[in-house]
């Protein structure tokens, strides 16, 4: 078994050197002009990407950049990209295109494109050829090198590319600017070894590598003592945490140790691959003090034939066994899932099995995706006779069925009182605050803003497909 690879302290010290140089350049600019250099990080995609963006933000602040309001107001713009589906890539390319006007107006600005998209060779080539005003292009493996890359772009006035393929390493101790005051992401592992045949992630994020459990525990302790109340552990497949380490601690044990940390907080995790989720994991959630009663368990399809073609390595039967176990042990467990519609070769019968599955499980909510072929993945060269219209029609049927199920589940809450922490300001007319149930369900709450960050009894008055609506009956702590 291979030991996890870390970015060495020496390499990080080299980056600190570049940080100091950029910091000095920015200080000199401020002394001369009376203005501060500003940076903006734009982020697309999953929570892993958000977590990377928080690090990029941290590195930029360390180099003396103040936060810009938006990309048009920034001296450095970094676009942290997503490659999971074509739609995500198209959006990003459109936004990079729009930045050409800013670059013409302010040729000194630095435009950087990073994350999953440029980690694919054909995309990095496209950025090189079709977007000549992009100064800096780097992949997911080069986040820690931002100081060096930016310094080079600033001083050598040439385009900088760092998109080498790599199994990936772990860089510890990088600065993080967390976007929210009470919610935090904690990456416990990076990369993916599963190679689902439709998915680009293993190609752009490298092999699975787990952080040292003590590091994770220290980070969570630090967050809890700094007032973070909602902590989400991140990994492409948290259930294979520790598999890459000699005698490594496994996920259920890590969760147990985190749960033992005293404090007023909720712990969540994502994502769980069903092939590695075990009854032991469910037991840990059931007996924990801090774990949210929610689990995201992407099934992708209800057809064994399609699951095999997807290389998911579980059957519908095995999946449902776990769901039944979970429901038996945690009756109020909120279960959510991802489903891909229109995988190559999916027939009407396969799709019907997916509908049957969702009627059986009755997910609280579902993330549904139309299959999108990704360059270099095995599924992209599979026979795919169904037309886009057929796929779209299936997609709509799935959505309709799930909307009905979600609405019915939500209607079951009407007339109940939930004890909730009123955290967010989510725009919804008539409801100043919002909250999440333990399982992550959105609740719009009619309450004065002064009750933000307090715990209150909320009486649920109505429900929709996506959320519950209630009013505060009694505020507490
Ligand atoms: N096409 C459509 N959906 C995809 N996903 C991953 N790759 C693709 C693809 N090529 C979906 C899966 C995964 C979620 C994050 O995105 O459902 O669980
Ligand atoms: Fe992609 Fe499958 Fe890995 Fe998830 S488990 S990131 S779907 S390859």
Domains recognised in the chain with CATH numbers: 9-162 (3.40.50.12160), 180-292 (3.30.750.210), 293-411 (3.30.750.200), 417-472 (2.40.50.140)
CA of 340 to the centre of ligand 1 (A): 6
Q: Select the more confidently predicted residue: 148 or 452.
A: 148
The ligand that comes nearest to the alpha carbon of residue 196 is: 2
What is the average per-residue pLDDT within 96-120?
Answer: 96
CA of 236 to the centre of ligand 2 (A): 6
Number of the ligand 1 atom closest to the C-alpha atom of 271: 18
pLDDT at residue 298 in the model = 98
The ligand that comes nearest to the alpha carbon of residue 379 is: 1
- Sign for the CA dihedral angle at 328, 238, 201, 91 comes to positive
Nearest to 337 by CA among 316, 308, 311: 316
Evaluate if residue 3 carries a pLDDT over 90.
Answer: no
Q: What whole-number distance in Å separates Cα of residue 346 and Cα of residue 349?
A: 8
**CA 318 to chain CA centroid, nearest Å:** 26
pLDDT at residue 39 in the model = 98
CA of 201 to the centre of ligand 2 (A): 6
CA of 306 to the centre of ligand 1 (A): 14
What is the average per-residue pLDDT within 86-111?
Answer: 95
User: Ligand 1 within 6 A of 338 CB?
Assistant: yes
Task: Give per-residue pLDDT as tens, 187-219.
Answer: 999 999 999 999 999 999 999 999 999 999 999
pLDDT band of residue 424 (cuts 50, 70, 90) is confident
Evaluate if residue 285 carries a pLDDT over 70.
Answer: yes
CA of 272 to the centre of ligand 2 (A): 10
What b-and-e string marks burial along 22-39, b requiring 16 or more CB atoms within 10 Å of the CB?
beebbeeeeeeeeeebbb
Number of the ligand 2 atom closest to the C-alpha atom of 300: 7
Spell out the residues 6+ positions from residue 126 whose beta carbon is closer than 8 angstroms to its own.
none
The ligand that comes nearest to the alpha carbon of residue 377 is: 1
pTM comes to: 0.94
CA of 16 to the centre of ligand 2 (A): 34
pLDDT at residue 64 in the model = 98
Per the prediction, the chain carries an average pLDDT of: 95
pLDDT band of residue 427 (cuts 50, 70, 90) is confident
Task: Give per-residue pLDDT as tens, 221-270.
Answer: 999 999 999 999 999 999 999 999 888 899 999 999 999 999 999 999 99
| Residue having the nearest C-alpha atom to atom 4 of ligand 2 | 236
Which of 16-30, 158-172, 436-450 is predicted with the least confidence, judged by mean pLDDT? 436-450
Is 76 in a helix, a strand, or coil?
strand
Task: Give per-residue pLDDT as tens, 33-79.
Answer: 999 999 999 999 999 999 999 999 999 999 999 999 999 999 999 99
CA of 353 to the centre of ligand 1 (A): 19
User: Ligand 1 within 6 A of 198 CB?
Assistant: yes
- Sign for the CA dihedral angle at 223, 225, 231, 234 comes to positive
CA of 297 to the centre of ligand 2 (A): 12
pLDDT at residue 24 in the model = 98
Candidate from 85, 189, 199, 380 with most ligand 2 atoms within 8 A of CB, to mutate: 199
User: Ligand 1 within 6 A of 265 CB?
Assistant: no
Nearest to 235 by CA among 268, 282, 198, 278: 268
Q: Is the Cβ–Cβ distance between 326 and 335 less than 8 Å?
A: yes
pLDDT band of residue 406 (cuts 50, 70, 90) is very high
pLDDT band of residue 426 (cuts 50, 70, 90) is confident
Q: What whole-number distance in Å separates Cα of residue 78 and Cα of residue 394?
A: 37
| Residue having the nearest C-alpha atom to atom 1 of ligand 2 | 199
pLDDT at residue 475 in the model = 65
pLDDT at residue 423 in the model = 81
pLDDT at residue 311 in the model = 98
Evaluate if residue 1 carries a pLDDT over 70.
Answer: no
| Strand segments (E) across 73-123 | 76-81, 110-115
| Residue having the nearest C-alpha atom to atom 7 of ligand 1 | 199
pLDDT at residue 248 in the model = 86
pLDDT band of residue 438 (cuts 50, 70, 90) is confident
pLDDT at residue 62 in the model = 98
pLDDT band of residue 477 (cuts 50, 70, 90) is low
Number of the ligand 2 atom closest to the C-alpha atom of 205: 6
Q: Is the Cβ–Cβ distance between 468 and 451 less than 8 Å?
A: no
CA of 195 to the centre of ligand 2 (A): 6
The ligand that comes nearest to the alpha carbon of residue 297 is: 1
């Amino acid at each position: 078994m291979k030991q996890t690879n870390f970015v060495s302290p020496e390499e990080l010290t080299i980056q600190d050197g570049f940080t100091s140089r950029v910091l000095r350049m920015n200080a000199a600019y401020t002394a001369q002009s009376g203005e501060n250099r500003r940076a903006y990080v734009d982020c697309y995609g999953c929570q892993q990407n958000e977590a990377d963006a928080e690090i990029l933000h941290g590195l930029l602040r360390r180099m003396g950049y103040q936060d810009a309001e938006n990309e048009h107001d920034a001296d450095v713009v970094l676009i942290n990209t997503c490659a999971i589906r074509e739609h995500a890539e198209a959006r990003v390319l459109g936004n990079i295109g729009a930045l050409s006007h800013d670059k013409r107006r302010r040729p000194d600005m630095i435009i950087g494109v990073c994350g999953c998209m440029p980690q694919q060779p054909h995309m990095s080539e496209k950025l090189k050829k079709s977007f000549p005003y992009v100064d800096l292009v780097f992949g997911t493996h080069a986040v820690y090198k931002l100081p060096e890359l930016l310094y080079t772009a600033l001083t050598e006035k040439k385009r900088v590319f760092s998109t080498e393929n790599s199994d990936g390493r772990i860089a510890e101790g990088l600065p993080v600017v967390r976007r929210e005051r009470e919610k935090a992401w904690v990456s416990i592992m990076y990369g993916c070894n599963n190679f689902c045949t439709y998915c680009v992630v293993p190609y752009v994020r490298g092999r699975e590598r787990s952080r040292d459990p003590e590091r994770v525990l220290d980070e969570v302790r630090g967050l809890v003592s700094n007032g973070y109340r909602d902590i989400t552990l991140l990994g492409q497949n948290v259930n294979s945490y520790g598999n890459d380490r000699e005698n490594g601690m496994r996920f259920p044990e890590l969760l147990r140790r985190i749960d033992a940390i005293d404090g007023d907080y909720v712990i969540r995790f994502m994502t769980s691959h069903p092939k590695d989720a075990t009854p032991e994991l469910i037991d840990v959630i059931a007996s924990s003090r801090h774990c949210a009663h929610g689990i995201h368990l992407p099934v992708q399809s209800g057809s064994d034939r399609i699951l095999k073609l997807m290389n998911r390595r579980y059957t519908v039967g095995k999946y449902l066994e776990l769901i039944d176990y979970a429901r038996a042990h945690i009756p109020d467990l909120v279960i959510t899932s991802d489903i891909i519609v229109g995988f190559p070769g999916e027939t009407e019968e396969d799709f019907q099995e997916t509908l049957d599955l969702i009627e059986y499980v009755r997910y609280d909510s579902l993330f549904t995706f139309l299959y999108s072929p990704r360059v270099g993945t095995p599924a992209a060269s599979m026979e795919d006779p169904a037309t886009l219209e057929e796929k779209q029609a299936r997609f709509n049927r799935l959505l309709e069925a799930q909307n009905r199920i979600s609405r019915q589940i939500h209607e079951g809450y009407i007339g109940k009182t939930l004890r909730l922490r009123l955290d967010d300001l989510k725009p919804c007319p008539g409801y100043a605050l919002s909250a999440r149930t333990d399982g992550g369900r959105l609740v719009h709450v009619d309450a004065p803003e002064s009750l933000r960050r307090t715990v209150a009894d909320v009486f649920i008055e109505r429900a929709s497909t996506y959320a519950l609506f209630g009013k505060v009956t009694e505020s507490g702590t």
